A and B are shown apart, each in its own frame.
Chain A
Amino acid sequence: AQSVTQLGSHVSVSEGALVLLRCNYSSSVPPYLFWYVQYPNQGLQLLLKYTSAATLVKGINGFEAEFKKSETSFHLTKPSAHMSDAAEYFCAVSEGFTGTASKLTFGTGTRLQVTL
Chain B
Amino acid sequence: NAGVTQTPKFQVLKTGQSMTLQCAQDMNHEYMSWYRQDPGMGLRLIHYSVGAGITDQGEVPNGYNVSRSTTEDFPLRLLSAAPSQTSVYFCASSYKLGGGYGYTFGSGTRLTVV
Contacts and interface: CB of A to CB of B under 8 A. Distances in A.
Contacts of A94: 100-101, 103
B102 A49 contact: yes
B10 to A, nearest CB: 11
Interface residues of B, number: 29
Contacts of B33: 102-104
A102 B102 contact: no
Contact of A101 (B31, B35, B43, B45): B31
Interface of B: 30-33, 35, 40-45, 48-50, 58, 90, 92, 94, 97-103, 105-108
A32 B102 CA distance: 9
Given A43-B105, A43-B108, A101-B50, A108 B100 contact: no
Interface in A26-40: 30, 32, 34, 36
Interface residues of A, number: 30
A96 interface: yes
Given A90-B42, A109-B42, A102 B100 contact: no
